[in-house]
Chain A
Amino acid sequence: MPSSELTGTRDEVDSARAGSVRLDHVTHRYGRGGEGFTAVGPVDLTVPAGQFLVLVGASGCGKSTLLRLIAGFERPTGGSVRVSGAEPRPGGTAGVVFQTPRLFPWRTVRGNVDLALRYAGVPRAQWPGRRAELLARVGLEGTEERRVWEISGGQQQRVAIARALAAENPLLLLDEPFAALDALTRERLQQDVRRVTDRTGRTTVFVTHSADEAVFLGSRIVVLTRSPGTVALDLPITLPRGDIDAEELRGSREFAELRARVSHAVKAAAAA
């Protein structure tokens, strides 16, 4: 198994650390009997704390399902999912960013972030400071009073990221968050996500179908086969992290090679 090769003997220690994810022989079926179908599995995967894992695969390979299982929205029909050593439950273990922003239209930008702070149990007196800090982290200073339908799609997704970061969960899950955005906005947000997660050192699981996005963001890439999704390729990414020139990184030969390799693996896995 490539994954155990990567994490080695640290598996046992890591699987209980805050933010670590451990999938043991996870399968998931939708529906019952002959009409049901297996979306995922079996998947064995260990994500040590602090890793930026990108799940890549063609549409319908079960990568979103896998993320929902890690978020605790669904229980796997087989195997076990452990986050920080315990069974995941929504809101308790991970911040989640969805494909669409899913903001509450009856609340302003401020209202959306404040709601997240309240659910996270942050004392009301700390809200203004924390809110300002969160909005600054996603580059949304000065938009607090805006209605969420007045701001652009990219800004909406930034609010969603700020909201997901509010609880300071050690794990952040993102499900194709930039798929609906234009290329320019997408690249800018990719840089922001890379920066935010690097700085805070939280574990991240990011789902995408784009090889380019995967190589740019991930410290490790897992390619899934078509449904039922299983691990087809498990690839550590050793591109430099921290404060880097995104243009230079994207233009580098290593980047191009990795992107080609991931892209090839995705196509091969989808055809299989």
Chain B
Amino acid sequence: MSTTSRLLTPDTSAAPAGVPPERRFPAGRAWARVRHVALPFGSLLLFLVLWQLLAASGTWSGTLVPSPAEVWDAFVAVSTTHDGVRGYNGTTLVEHLGISLRRIAIGAGLGIALGVVSGLLMGTVGWLRSLFEPWITFLRTLPPLAYFSLLVIWLGINEEPKVTLLAVAAFPPVAVSTTTAVAAVPRSLIEAARALGASRWDVVRDVIVPSALPETLTGVRLAVGVAYSSLVAAELVNGLPGIGGMVKDAANYNNTPVVLVGIIAIGVSGLIIDGLLLRLEHAVVPWRGRA
């Protein structure tokens, strides 16, 4: 603790006289690099080492805890064609992932679009909010698996229930955050626009929408996260090809390495997408927190 605080804050009393303060900042910058690069990678490395040790100790069978090398082999196997077998079940890992991402794009896209529109309506029209908010809250508390069976009964086992599930999962976070954001638009700005001669529609387009945008984008990130975590559920029935279907199918055969490959693939792609959405947010709403 004392080391870090000394590194972070230039301590004038400890410095030799005559040394300009900026000379001591590189130490702080080096610590920042350690903290932001070395520590995360260090923890990842430590995790792999512990995992390898655990697998090698033989406490659990290889079926339960395969070694990192086995998982790597599985990764290579599902990514390539070998012995005449293409990837997993005739589809490579990237293709599984691509198919799932397409489902997410369509499903979550629909849910987000619907959520933004209903959020705008509920945020501006008070009685609409009172009418629909309880239903959305109810929907939000349901785990997607709870209504998946119903969707299968209604819509069959093809693309429709999967896309619908993702849409239903993505809808509430966006609707709720947009509603809140629209209702919280500063009255002062609406009044300023009206004083300049803005019509009702002008106010919606030029004040309410941009003002609600930061919160809405947070809702979108949340929605994509929820859709992502519902992916395996959505692909529980007839999910192949699809990354969630692959995980489910491999689990049926106790193929733990492929299950882990699938989980890691979902996690890593989810992180990348979240990072992209975060960058989008910074690009689209640079005024966030400055209003």
Contacts and interface: CB of A to CB of B under 8 A. Distances in A.
A163 interface: yes
Nearest to A102: B192
Interface string B255-291: 0000000000000000000000000000001110011
B195 to A, nearest CB: 4
A106 B213 contact: yes
Given A102-B189, A119-B202, A163 B287 contact: no
B19 interface: no
A105 B196 contact: no
B191 A90 contact: yes
Given A102-B188, A106-B210, A106-B285, A120 B291 contact: no
Nearest to B206: A115
B210 A104 contact: yes
Contacts of A90: 191, 194-195, 197
B71 interface: no
Residue in B195, B202, B213, B291 whose Cβ sees the most chain A Cβ within 10 Å:
B195
B162 to A, nearest CB: 37
A194 interface: no
Given A106-B285, A147-B286, A91 B197 contact: yes
Tell me the dominant secondary structure on chain B's binding face: helix
Contact of B287 (A91, A92, A95, A105): A105
B198 interface: yes
A104 B290 contact: no
B290 A95 contact: no
B193 interface: yes
B207 interface: yes
12 contacts: A73-B195, A91-B196, A102-B192, A104-B207, A106-B210, A106-B211, A115-B193, A120-B196, A121-B197, A147-B286, A147-B287, A149-B290
Contact of A104 (B191, B194, B195, B206): B206
Given A73-B194, A166-B196, 8 more contacts: A95-B195, A96-B195, A98-B188, A105-B287, A115-B193, A116-B196, A149-B290, A167-B196
Nearest to A71: B195
B196 to A, nearest CB: 5
A168 B257 CA distance: 73
Contacts of A71: 195
Contacts of B193: 104, 115, 119
A80 interface: no
Interface string A76-103: 0000000000000011101110101011
Interface of B: 188-189, 191-198, 202, 206-207, 210-211, 213, 285-287, 290-291
Interface of A: 71, 73, 90-92, 94-96, 98, 100, 102-106, 115-116, 119-121, 147, 149, 163-164, 166-167
Contacts of B211: 106
Nearest to A103: B192
A104 B196 contact: no
A131 to B, nearest CB: 14
Contacts of B210: 104, 106
Contacts of A147: 286-287
Contacts of B286: 147
A270 to B, nearest CB: 27
Contacts of A116: 196-197
A164 B193 CA distance: 10
Which of B192, B198, B285, B291 neighbours the largest number of chain A CB atoms within 10 Å of its CB? B192
Nearest to B284: A106
B196 A98 contact: no
Contact of A163 (B189, B196, B202, B290): B196
Name, among A71, A95, A106, A163, the residue most crowded by chain B CB atoms within 10 Å (CB to CB).
Answer: A106
Contacts of A164: 195-196
Contacts of B197: 90-92, 116, 119-121, 167
A64 to B, nearest CB: 12
B210 to A, nearest CB: 4
A106 B210 CA distance: 7
B207 A119 contact: no
Max chain B Cβ within 10 angstroms of own Cβ: one of A100, A102, A120, A164? A102
Nearest to A149: B290
Nearest to B285: A106
A102 B290 CA distance: 12
Contacts of B195: 71, 73, 90-91, 94-96, 164
A227 B259 CA distance: 74
Contacts of A115: 193, 196, 206
